[in-house]
Amino acid sequence: MLAPIGMAIVALGIIGIIWGIFQKVKAGRVADAPLVKTGDAGARGAQVASPKGAISVEGAVHCAEPVMAPMSGVPCLWYHVNLPRLKAGASQRPDGR
């Protein structure tokens, strides 16, 4: 009776270790991005980015003409919308009809 419980605990431990490794890799990517002020990012652009093009920016941003996010209607500087394609004959309704 204790063997299945022990196997489940070991499996959960392995899953936890794998999840932790993925989180460490993701945190490393964020930590590798240089932290610059908004003025430097605006003036020097890609010159301040990491070799992979990542950048972390801090500071106040003043936008003369913010755009409106199409889904939320919130004024913003930039947005991204992902529209996946539907296969021919696929249902567009959540209930599958």
Instruction: Give the tens place of pLDDT for each residue, 7-32.
Output: 999 999 999 999 999 999 888 777 77
Do 42 and 63 share a domain, yes or no? yes
Does some domain include residue 93? no
Q: How does pLDDT run across 30-82, given as a tens digit for each residue?
A: 777 788 888 888 788 778 887 777 788 788 877 888 888 888 888 888 777 77
Stated pTM of the model: 0.41
Q: Are residues 37 and 11 in the same domain?
A: no
Percentages helix, strand, coil for the chain (3-state, rounded to 5) are 45, 10, 45
Predicted local confidence at residue 13, as pLDDT? 96
Task: Please give the pLDDT value at position 50.
Answer: 78
Domain count, the chain: 2
Nearby residues of 79 by Cβ (< 8 Å), 6 or more positions away: 67, 69, 70
Note the pLDDT of residue 21: 94
Rg (CA), the chain: 23
Domain extent for 23: 1-32
Q: Are residues 22 and 63 in the same domain?
A: no
**91 found inside a domain:** no
Helix (H) or strand (E) holding 43: helix 38-44
